[in-house]
Chains A and B, each alone.
Chain A
Amino acid sequence: MGADKKLIFRTISAILLYEGISMLPSYLLALYDHDLGPALGIGITMLLIFVCGLTGVRLTRRYKAKIKVRDSYFLVLICWLTVIGTGMLPYLLSRIGIHPVDALFESVAAWTTSSAWVLNVNNLPRALILWRATASWLGGMGVILIAILILSTLGVNGQKLVNAELPGPSVMKTSARMKDTIQELYFIYFMLSAIELVLLLAGRIPRFEALVNTMTTMSTAGLIDYHRAIGTHFTPYVKVVLAVFSLLSSINFAIYINLRRRRFRLVKEDVELRLYLAIIAAATVFIAVVLRITGVRGDIFQSAVDGFAGVVSFASTSGFPLARVNGWPTICKVLLLILMLIGGSAGSTAGGIKVIRFAVFFQIIRRGVYKRIHPNAVKPIRIGKRQMASESVSSIATFILLFLAVYLLSAVVLSLQNLDMETTLSAPVALFTNTGVGFGLVRDASYECFSHLGRVYCCLLMMAGRLELYAILILFSRSFWNPERAK
């Protein structure tokens, strides 16, 4: 293995340091609630990782390095494993009888921004819920993004890391200096969260619920139904706010940078954005009409709100655990399933195949038909006015094929649980796209129906989905571990 050990050490240390700091609010909440278990659990973890991180950073203070492509994939994976591993400690050390696998599941689900759960929130202390939401919020923009921010201030070139980390085929170079871009992205993320929080508070949502749900919607990690808040407080206004902000965070964040720089033409001509919004609009109208016709919802206004919330829940791969979707007509559910597969935009916090890849998928089919009619025609794939390089097209085609293969394989593995077929076939999609909500037994994102072994596989699937497959699967290839062969 050719990865640079010092670089890995330094990155992990930096991440631990900041993760430790991010646990502080949860710790304070535990103290405020006089919850001794969580206070102890979070406190010990926080202290431990903070000290480890600080020592590590100090030890490697003078270190500078350039990152190779191969190393970057490995580094990304190591970072995720680090935060997931340390992120599960608060659940375990709180000594409230949580099984290690369940702690792992919650940690993976939080960091990968899936709304899946195995521990009922209503039985959890508030401090741990806040920690889960914090992990989602941080996971949303990618732990690595924070790491780069830190690393780049410390003199490590972060550009390549971002390519492996940020979801989607390409990261627009919106700024010459990576560091500035990331700071700007983070600022936007923070501002959007703040606005959402204010809007939710204005909707008379209790403070705690408003805070955790802001964090989870901004990271497209769904909602946390604490004390049935969804049933009692979620007026149409609140639903729309939550859906709109989930939608906003499933749009390529480069758009916001362009907006801030007043490059409106670029935004207007963004093919992915237009396609994504068109899909959302069309699906919302369709579902609203179906709900109205079949009489699931009384009036057209409520149908539209529910339709919009449902569509965004799946398209942005947030997965609001609103079991009500299960009562919808099948045609709506199939549509939601398709939306979930397509997912959000590249460069956002959403999962799934991604709209831009879906556009290429469609263009490939169209070209296929065209080439049957005119076998000798040369026709490149176009997205908008831009002509795509054949390498990018084949890279996207490979991704989609791999996506399908992993899906089928996962369905086989999860079917060993011997649940009904609706669950067996929809759970892998829900996990793999980091939505969390599926159909059948996983309709409210609860994976309690799976055994501990099954839950471990669910964790792997969520990780694979979040890291866009390659980063994980590449570790299984021989040539990765043996660089000599690759020469």
Chain B
Amino acid sequence: MKTATPLHYHSVIRMLGVLLLVIGFAMIPAALVGLFYGEMREAGIFTATIIPCLLAGLLVVKLFNPAGLRTRQREGYLIVTLFWVVAPLISAIPFLIAGMITNPIDAFFELCSGYSTTGATILSNLEHYPKSLMFWRSLTHWLGGMGIVVLATALLPSIGIGGQTIANAETPGPTMSKLTARFSDTSRRLYILYAIFTVAEAVLLMAGGLSLYDALIHTFGTVGTGGFSNYSDSVGHFTSPYVRWVITAFMILCGINFNLYFLLFQKRFKEFFSDEEKRLYLGMIGGFILLITLDLLGQGGYTSFVNAFSDASFHVASIVTTTGFATTDYDVWPAFCKTLIVILTITGACASSTGGGVKMIRILTAIKYVRRGFFLKLHPNRVINLTVNGKAVGASTVTNIVNFIFFFVAVLFAGTLLVSVDGFDIVTNFSAALTCLSNVGPGLNLVGPSMNFAAYSNFPTLVLAILMIAGRLELFTVFMMLSRNYWNSDRA
């Protein structure tokens, strides 16, 4: 056992200063949108939030400069958790001042939904709100998609956080392969790729006749796999098949492990195409689209194959990548389609993408693990390795993956129980907890795609907000804070 060392609170506080700076800068585009559309009051509110944010941030960073203190993994978890709790709190301020959301807990929920790229909302009649605030709401998707900490290290490599170890607590998926020697280089490259996707989609959407504003809002929702729209009927507002297919394609692209794209740049095509996780992901998308299309034609009352296929494709892509856009109310679809959607909500997208859920790589490993379990039951003395992409997966990685799946199930049921205090039906509560935990957004029944979360009272709203953050940070980072072992340095 190592000697007991207390948590380094200095570096934690310093990082919060950095967070204030990041949020302060990020709000500037929103203020500009306000100016552009002549929303002077909102622009003023943003300015009034930005200035104290930046000043306080600068002050904290200057005052807390723990020279020589390396940030360890242990502080990393605390930093990341605090980041993800404080960011929605600060970002909610403009909404509260503007009176767009009056209940602070609702505002916290909405911004948690934004940063965690969930897309669940308590707002209705979205067309009537100020454009600048709606822009800020969607921008949080973009910030949260790749990770705030990753963003901070990409922008400010010299801020002195440990990089990789901390970002591991924030990046979705079990492993984060090291692409470059320095982590800040990796994170910068990730953000460059992210920016390329963003620009490409926005341009393509504008080519389809969307205004720059609409294009940006939906691009943020897509590449961050969030799902906020500025229309009540979500993407269903755009009748053009072109727009819907562009969004479908970009959702699927952003659900793939971003590290894989670097293989393309390095001309390692074989590795790219043979990646097992990606194959499972695309295979599932293909299979589920087929099944849902057939069921929509058979039981769902669709008469045109093209309509059924395009609606099925859009929603499969939207749910599996945990985006949560909708073109139609899938809650009226047959039970078979809805059950498949529930399964997609659980599986989620690939690791190291912007999507949430359990993640394909974990599903893949779990399937192989179960298969091996069978084999061992029959042939108790055999030794079999578990391999993914031709490489043996270590026992501790497998254990971690099983741990995660169990934790996910436990939190899902505990969440359902807590959310049930409002007395809505079981399906509503279960799907609300699930959709928030996997960062999808819409659920079934009362929280279906045509409904919203406004009906929940304060306590369930808060629980759902925490589920979103916990789901985005892959459970352990957040729930570790509840463990005695984390705080008690003597036991370390």
Contacts and interface: CB of A to CB of B under 8 A. Distances in A.
Interface in A163-189: none
Interface stretch (B61-69, B248-256, B425-433): B425-433
Contact of B402 (A369, A401, A411): A401
Contact of B427 (A405, A408, A421, A477): A421
Contact of A411 (B339, B366, B429, B483): B339
B37 interface: no
Contacts of A367: 403
A424 B427 CA distance: 10
Nearest to B367: A405
B486 A373 contact: yes
Contacts of B444: 421
Contact of A330 (B377, B400, B407, B429): B429
Contacts, number: 155
A368 interface: yes
Contacts of B405: 401, 404
B374 interface: yes
B89 interface: no
Interface residues of A, number: 56
A176 B485 CA distance: 44
B445 interface: yes
A408 B343 contact: yes
Interface in A377-407: 394-395, 397-402, 404-405
Contacts of B492: 373-374
B378 interface: yes
Contacts of A361: 406, 410
Interface stretch (B105-113, B148-156, B309-317, B413-421): B413-421
A335 interface: yes
B364 interface: no
Contact of B338 (A338, A404, A415): A415
Contacts of B340: 412, 415
Interface string A444-481: 00000000000000000000000000100110010110
Contact of B476 (A369, A412, A470, A473): A369
B378 A477 contact: yes
B369 interface: yes
A316 B74 CA distance: 42
Interface in B335-367: 335-336, 338-340, 342-343, 346, 366-367
A398 B400 CA distance: 14
Contact of A470 (B369, B377, B422): B377
A424 B378 contact: no
A368 B407 contact: yes
A398 B430 contact: no
A377 to B, nearest CB: 9
Nearest to B335: A415
Contacts of B407: 365, 368
Interface in B371-385: 372-380
A292 interface: no
Given A398-B369, A402-B373, A439-B426, A334 B417 contact: yes
B2 to A, nearest CB: 9
A420 interface: yes
B373 A365 contact: no
A123 interface: no
B22 to A, nearest CB: 26
A311 to B, nearest CB: 14
A281 to B, nearest CB: 17
A168 to B, nearest CB: 15
Contacts of B480: 369, 372-373
A477 to B, nearest CB: 6
B406 A411 contact: no
Contact of A338 (B403, B417, B483): B417
A285 to B, nearest CB: 15
B7 to A, nearest CB: 12
B409 interface: yes
Contacts of A470: 374, 377
Nearest to B485: A373
A291 to B, nearest CB: 13
Interface in B430-488: 430, 444-445, 476-477, 479-480, 483, 485-486
Contacts of A239: none
B491 to A, nearest CB: 9
B378 A474 contact: yes
Contacts of A422: 425-427
B259 to A, nearest CB: 22
A70 interface: yes
A37 to B, nearest CB: 38
Contacts of A474: 374, 377-378
- The 10 A-B pairs at the shortest CB distance, nearest first, are namely A398-B373, A368-B403, A415-B339, A331-B420, A415-B335, A415-B336, A330-B420, A421-B427, A372-B476, A334-B420
Given A334-B413, A370-B483, 6 more contacts: A330-B426, A334-B417, A368-B403, A397-B406, A425-B430, A474-B378
Interface of B: 73-74, 77, 299, 334-336, 338-340, 342-343, 346, 366-367, 369-370, 372-380, 399-400, 402-407, 409-410, 413, 416-417, 420-427, 429-430, 444-445, 476-477, 479-480, 483, 485-486, 492
Interface of A: 69-70, 329-331, 333-335, 337-338, 341, 361-362, 364-365, 367-375, 394-395, 397-402, 404-405, 408, 411-412, 415-422, 424-426, 439, 470, 473-474, 477, 479-480, 486
